[in-house]
Chains A and B, each alone.
Chain A
Amino acid sequence: MLSNYLLSWIVFTPMIGFVLVLLMPRDKVAWIRWTAAVFTFIPMILSFYLYAIMNPSDGGFQFIEKYSWISAFNIQYYLGIDGISAPMVILTGLLGFLSVFASWNINKAHKAYFALYLLLVTAMFGVFMSLDFFLFYIFWELMLFPMYFLIGIWGGPRREYAAIKFFLYTLAGSVLMLVVILAFYFNSTDPSTGRHTFDIVTLMNQANQGPFIKEFWIRLAMYIALFIGFAIKVPVFPFHTWLPDAHVEAPTAISVILAGVLLKMGAYGLMRISFPLLPDMARYTAIGLAILGLINIVYGALVAMAQTDFKKMIAYSSVSHMGFVILGLSSMTFIGFNGALMQMFNHGIITGMLFLLVGVIYDRAHHRDLNGFGGLATYMPIYAGITSLAFMGSLGLPGLSGFIGEILVFLGSFKVYPVIVIISATGVIFTAAYFLWAYQRVFLGAANEKYKGIAEINGRELFTLIPLVLIALFFGVYPVPFFNLVGPSLSKLLMMVGH
């Protein structure tokens, strides 16, 4: 029973929470918080259960729920997951739950905040599970306006600007995607019914038989339009400029969600849609993708080095890290794909950790100026310890999961783009440089009297951080389960796009 509708349960449990929160009196803050906690906890547990009972060995889609939705256009309510989406779902569940506790000290309009938050969680789950292109788009867009409000109302001083910037950027990308979706629709035929379809799986199969559209340039245009839509989310240079603003202004929890989940959707879209549906174009433009990945890695790292705002630095480090994902995807090799997906997952965990850590210090010091601290390690040893661990994970230190992803991307891509990989490898130097530099400025040196008696990281914050730390460590030393989960699906994908 449960496992028949497992995915729907995961998607819509937060929605139930959303309704409940709306029904609650606005002054019962505790109720609202705990409702949010419970209704994100349930889907998290369910997503773990999902992992427990799914059978990764066949790379196909599982837990499929397929119902006709709008028969006039052959639109379906079609959910299903495979090895590629499963880690993303788990990541969403985990961060979705933990971020509730990072939102504990939201200080105004709790009801609205948590309602929108739960809506956002539902949308995120939906994106990773929907196998109907139209449904996918609905969920994809459904993330926009909650995010707009969450940044715009509860964000930092420049929140209005950041919010609308995020909104316009993302919408600009997704409307282009919409055109492509419709184009796919009209060039598709469901073999069983002979009608047009939004069914991604059917589209994949059709793409396998041969290109959708004869005209080369239309295919290229479609691919590029799709790519822009996803590239804005990733974000790929030069579409990245919304990210630092959005991250810096967003409240901690939302930064975590942004970096941990939303950024993944771009790459996920590439793997789930662009590559399988336009494989020839994917191959044709792979080199360009690789170059963009290279730019992301090196450029992001260098710009991060220049930042004085703690959050902004991490935002740019995200740009740099997602570059690895792009590079890995562009390699079109099994190892590269595994590395990319691993990197996606890690980035979610580790960058999530970093934003939580920034939140901790921001709540205490009420600023994020890297030069404004100094010697904090004296006052907050535990905090300093966890931060150093997160930094090390982020700069790809072996033994933590970050390393696995990056090195696999390199190993996989080298044979395809040796030069690009070599240049990207300089990224490891710059990354180390800016993280250690930041660490030195914030934590090391003579203790800054101004922060004498600053409170050490508290239990709630630890509760949000420890799970992520453990995961980062675990996958650092034993990533095999991850590869067993994603491997088959990735080799399927590789069969579609591989050289």
Chain B
Amino acid sequence: MLLSTITLSDYLILSGLLFSIGVFGVLTRKNAIAVLMGIELMLNAANINLVAFSKFIDTGLNGQIFALFSIVIAAAEVAVALAIVISIYKTTRTIDLDKEDTLKG
């Protein structure tokens, strides 16, 4: 009943917002973890798209499968990212991205 009123465009708008928020977070936050969360938002925005499209348009389940894969990948990525962040934290005692500027020019 309620669902029926939710159209594809609603999903897309939502994902768009989500994506934008993610990008915003990535660009603004100085904390590495927060940035990673922003990335998660971006990826999930895409996932919403995929699922929505597969529900409304596609006959198969391609989109949803894709979404599942991307979730897994994202997890793996974040795992690696966190590992690196931690090892940096071990040496520098900080996870502030602004401190990571020894390589430049």
Q: In their complex, do chains A and B touch, with some C-beta pair under 8 Å? A: no
Give the A-binding residues of B (Cβ under 8 A): none
